[in-house]
């Protein structure tokens, strides 16, 4: 058999259903193998390798199974880097196969030759170049093992001529992963239980690592009478309207979550690497639960670190703990959150005759999204609108949470539909993020993927505009050249709706649900500052400097949020 055929066999062994990439000279022999294996493995031809890597990363996040992408050496491999770093930062297992110039040309500065081992060295947990056909099988198997063991990126570079070499089929084939279980020391569990018993104002901060422990987390919170605050990747760990859920923490968080952190006397971190120290308590004891020992105490001083599965550790606590009688702190937090939802509902209510804003679009989206839908969220102001105004119940979502790369919304939606064809899939994008990779709407059309894409069109890089204003500066180069994305969808072979009013939005959303084509809903939205749940005085002061500077320089137009809203979040 050829080395290229051996690669296909290993992909089948690992139950790989999709390979994202772009054909080219240094991988054409492998492309031929994928053609022959198309009944088992779908090669998804993207229009840009970055989209392929982002889609493979999103697939890994959504399925908890390794994603795979492919490119030629040189320029194609360079294009992969953004998606590879997204996978690394979010702990998504990803195997990357790249081509390279022939063995006899490596190191000669030949056409399209790039030193791939050096380029990938920082992003990868495994990074090898194959030097003979006989090494293809053992090294590719090792790449899969390393990617899945470390939840990281594994790269195998295979020169063009190696694909053509004859190799013996490896009879020793295994994809078995060692299922080791970690459980913390008994003394640490006892110490943590003592802290939980003594705390009067405990607060839980839950991240993505708690998503597999939803039931255990809910019971745990009930027993210790603790409100639950979530990081963005942890959104959905409890339904947003669950009585214990105080919403997101941080710049895109809620005021009740901020205030709970200000008052707590015990912080319980579960499956999160939340890095924003300013939003965490100044000095309280902390219990941290994480599967990765390197994360314990990394971002916040931890009194007790419990390494292991959050599901198993919380289940153990639930067996030992009784229900706390003093629930006054929880009651106060729940009252604050009820008031917060009233505040949010008023913001999200569309005013007749007024232009739509981001929160109002999210409010309408809530009406049509199915219980088991998947949402792919881009990075920008839309992240704030999603975090604060979309009320998750049982949906799943994917985002570039740690690298926070713009342009992740469309690739995530493509992989979500490929891996879950029976589910409703929505991409939530700003016009800035969508236009970074909009050419791959054609990929969705080619593979007949009925995804629905909401484009929040304000013709601005909105988040950067407000960042510049918060620094006291006048926004510069944050305006975007506008276009009609609905018309783009139609000429690309999909469906498109241009929306300017609430009524048009409602009709478009209902129509998109019934479409069997990829659909873009291009929504014109009015500027609205993505205010944090709690505004700090230094933020207000810097914004005042921005307004004064605009007045001095003769620019008197301000995109100011309502004063009532500002005051509510300032005090």
Q: Does residue 169 fall inside a structural domain? A: no
Share in percent of the chain as helix, strand, coil (round to 5): 45, 15, 40
Q: Is the pLDDT of residue 510 over 70?
A: yes
Among residues 337, 361, 378, the one where a domain terminates is 337
C-alpha neighbours within 13 Å on the C-beta side of residue 253: 29
Looking at residue 567, what is its pLDDT?
Answer: 45
CA distance 11 to 13: 5
* Same domain flag for 504 and 538: yes
Is 80 exceeded by the pLDDT of residue 531?
A: no
Kindly state whether residues 426 and 373 are assigned to the same domain: yes
Same domain, 22 and 57: yes
Tell me: pLDDT of 439 over 80.
yes
Q: What is the CA radius of gyration of the chain?
A: 25
Helical pair 462-470 and 381-389, crossing angle rounded to 10 deg: 90
Is the same domain home to 150 and 214? no
Alpha-carbon distance of 189 to 552, in angstroms, equals 61
| 141: pLDDT strictly greater than 70 | yes
Q: What is the pLDDT of residue 533?
A: 60
Model confidence, pTM: 0.91
Question: For 512-518, what is the mean pLDDT?
Answer: 95
For residue 305, the model assigns a pLDDT of 96
Predicted confidence (pLDDT) at residue 540 exceeds the cutoff of 90 = no
Contact 56, 93 (CB under 8 A): no
What SS3 string covers 266-333? EEEEECCCCCCHHHCCCCCCEEEEECCHHHCCCCCCCCEEEECCHHHHHHHHHHHCCCCCCCHHHHHH
Give the per-residue pLDDT at 561: 53
Sequence-ordered list of residues with C-beta below 8 angstroms from that of 359, at least 6 positions apart, any chain: 344, 347, 348, 385, 388, 389, 528
- CATH code for the domain of 119: 3.40.50.970
* pLDDT reading at 485 higher than 60: yes
pLDDT at 405: 98
Please check whether residues 191 and 111 belong to one and the same domain. Answer: no
- Residue range 157-195, pLDDT digits in tens: 999 999 999 998 887 766 766 666 778 888 999 999 999
Residues 268-321: tens digit of each pLDDT? 999 999 999 999 999 999 999 999 999 999 999 999 999 999 999 999 999 999
Q: Quick one: pLDDT band at residue 569, thresholds 50, 70, 90?
A: very low
CATH no. for residue 321? 3.40.50.1220
372 and 494 inside one domain: yes
pLDDT > 50? residue 77: yes
Question: Average model confidence (pLDDT) for the chain?
Answer: 92
> How high is the pLDDT of residue 302?
95
- Same-domain pairing of 194 and 310: yes
Q: What is the percent of the chain with per-residue pLDDT over 70, rounded to a whole number? A: 91
Cβ–Cβ contacts within 10 Å for residue 17, how many? 15
Lowest mean pLDDT among 31-45, 96-110, 112-126: 96-110
- pLDDT of 104: 83
| Residues 6 or more apart whose Cβ sits within 8 Å of residue 547 | 558
- Of 285, 314, 337, which one is at a domain's C-terminal end? 337
Taking only the tens place, the pLDDT of each residue in 25-56 is: 999 999 999 999 999 999 999 999 999 999 99
pLDDT at 565: 53
Q: In the predicted model, is pLDDT for residue 560 greater than 80?
A: no
pLDDT for position 528: 81
Same domain? For 322 and 387 the reply is no
Is 265 domain-assigned?
Answer: yes
Q: Which residue has the higher pLDDT, 110 or 413?
A: 413
**Domain termination residue (choose one: 277, 306, 337):** 337
* DSSP summary character for residue 12: H
**Is the predicted pLDDT of residue 541 greater than 80, yes or no?**
no
pLDDT-wise least confident of 164-173, 428-437, 561-570: 561-570
Residue 35 domain flag? yes
Model pLDDT, residue 294? 92
pLDDT value for 176: 67
- Residue 174 resides in a domain: no
Residue 563: pLDDT over 50: no
pLDDT digits (tens, 9 = 90+) for 384-423: 999 999 999 999 999 999 999 999 999 999 999 999 999 9
Residues 197 and 159 placed together within one structural domain of the fold: no
What average pLDDT does range 461-478 have in this prediction?
86
**Is 386 found in the same domain as 502?**
yes
Does any domain span residue 181?
no
* pLDDT-derived band at 486, boundaries 50, 70, 90: very high
- Model confidence at 537: pLDDT above 70: no
Does residue 136 sit in the same domain as residue 201?
no
Domain count within the chain: 3
Flag whether 332 is in a domain. Answer: yes
Range of the domain at 378: 349-570
Are residues 311 and 408 located together in one domain of the fold? no
CA–CA distance, 200 with 442 (Å, rounded to integer): 56
In a domain, 465, yes or no: yes
**Pair 139, 157: CB distance under 8 Å:** no
In this prediction, residue 159 carries a pLDDT of 94
Q: Does the residue 247 lie in any domain?
A: yes
């Amino acid at each position: 058999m050829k080395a290229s055929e051996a690669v296909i066999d290993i992909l089948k062994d690992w139950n790989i259903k999709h390979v994202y990439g772009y054909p080219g000279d240094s991988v054409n022999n492998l492309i031929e193998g994928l053609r022959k294996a198309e009944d088992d493995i779908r090669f998804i031809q993207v229009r840009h390798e970055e989209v392929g890597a982002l889609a493979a990363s999103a697939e890994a996040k959504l399925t908890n199974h390794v994603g795979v992408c492919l490119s030629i050496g040189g320029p194609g491999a360079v294009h992969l880097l953004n998606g590879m770093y997204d996978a690394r930062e979010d702990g998504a297992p990803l195997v990357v196969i790249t081509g390279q110039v022939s063995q006899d040309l490596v190191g000669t500065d030949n056409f399209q030759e790039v030193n791939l081992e050096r380029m990938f060295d920082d992003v990868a947990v495994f990074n090898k170049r194959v030097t003979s056909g006989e090494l293809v099988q053992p090294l590719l198997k090792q790449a899969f093992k390393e990617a899945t063991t470390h939840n990281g990126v594994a790269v195998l570079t295979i020169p063009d001529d190696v694909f053509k070499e004859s190799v013996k089929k490896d009879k020793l084939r295994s994809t078995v992963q060692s299922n080791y279980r970690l459980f913390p020391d008994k003394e640490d569990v006892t110490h943590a239980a003592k802290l939980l018993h003594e705390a009067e104002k405990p607060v839980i901060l839950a991240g993505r690592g708690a998503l597999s422990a939803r039931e255990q987390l809910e019971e745990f919170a009930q027993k210790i009478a603790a409100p639950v605050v979530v990081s963005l990747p942890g959104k959905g760990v409890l339904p947003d309207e669950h009585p214990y859920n105080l919403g997101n923490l941080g710049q895109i968080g809620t005021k009740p979550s901020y205030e709970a952190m200000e008052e707590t006397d015990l912080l319980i971190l579960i499956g999160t690497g939340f890095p924003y120290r300013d939003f965490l308590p100044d000095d309280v004891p902390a219990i941290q639960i994480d599967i990765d020992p390197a994360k314990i105490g990394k971002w916040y001083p931890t009194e007790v670190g419990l390494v292991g599965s959050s599901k198993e550790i919380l289940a153990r606590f639930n067996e030992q703990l009784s229900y706390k009688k003093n629930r006054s702190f929880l009651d106060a937090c729940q009252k604050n959150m009820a008031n917060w939802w009233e505040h949010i509902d008023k913001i999200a209510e569309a005013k007749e005759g007024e232009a739509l804003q981001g929160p109002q679009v999210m409010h309408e989206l809530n009406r049509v999204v199915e219980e088991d839908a998947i949402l792919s969220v881009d990075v920008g102001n839309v992240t704030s609108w999603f975090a604060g105004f979309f009320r998750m119940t049982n949906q799943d979502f994917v985002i570039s949470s740690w690298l926070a790369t713009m342009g992740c919304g469309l690739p995530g939606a493509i992989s979500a539909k490929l891996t879950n064809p029976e589910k409703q899939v929505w991409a939530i994008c700003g016009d800035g993020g969508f236009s970074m990779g909009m050419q791959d709407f054609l990929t969705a059309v080619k593979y007949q993927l009925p995804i629905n894409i909401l484009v929040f069109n304000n013709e601005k890089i909105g988040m950067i505009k407000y960042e510049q204003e918060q620094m006291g500066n006048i926004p510069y180069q944050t305006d975007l050249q506008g276009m009609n994305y609905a018309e783009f969808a139609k000429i690309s072979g999909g469906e498109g709706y241009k929306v300017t009013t609430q009524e048009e939005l409602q009709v478009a959303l209902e129509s998109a649900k019934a479409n069997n084509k990829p659909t873009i809903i291009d929504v014109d939205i009015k500027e609205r500052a993505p205010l944090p749940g709690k505004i700090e005085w230094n933020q207000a002061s810097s914004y005042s400097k921005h307004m004064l500077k605009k007045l001095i320089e003769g620019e008197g137009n301000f995109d100011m949020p309502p004063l009532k809203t500002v005051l509510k979040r300032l005090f």
